[in-house]
Structure 1
């Protein structure tokens, strides 16, 4: 008889795993410090990594196809592939997620700013201030900049 696959149970357990334990799993699976992003990001990346290690990653032909598509978009200029969120806004429609004091905060990037709880805002810092009651750099609060100020 076949043994049941433990991976689905391991993935389901991520939802109830305390955040410090998720960060430790990140260290174990990626051999690096976890990024300063929200819990949902950690869960999704950990879930992908667990499956990747158990079942294998992308096939080489898929990787080659993705690289070819990227070259078609940027003309082969790898410098254009780096995301510079401090200079370029995220694409309209992007959803930024941040957990604050146990509550998930969702911000949508709009054509002329941002939307949080159905209200328009011109800056992420204004939203971060509304959420926390203190002054924050909005880009840092939503994990779009690391602590050194680079993206």
Structure 2
């Protein structure tokens, strides 16, 4: 567990030191946010790592919310996705068992299906309209 003094010490760090701490802890360049927001993000990272962190999906959702550029709706059981591509209609279903089905086959992800349809790498949620840009 992260101690309260460790978290409180973040308040005394300069912007440059906070960015260095982020680079060391996370391994990426610090996001372009205010020092106050970076302190909150560092505190969260420190606590998440101390308690084994969050699931990948939760981390991706939080990252997406922090950037504020897009929102992705999850593919839920019973969902039926329809996409027209080059004059052909493609229907993908998400079974109650969470298995994605298209063209009489089972797929691991919507991105795999989008790749099979287009022949190029696509974000499955973007291809099927589950990923939307947020209005400014």
- TM-score interval, smaller chain: 0.3 to 0.5
Higher strand residue share: 2
Question: What TM-score does the superposition give when structure 1 sets the normalisation length?
Answer: 0.40
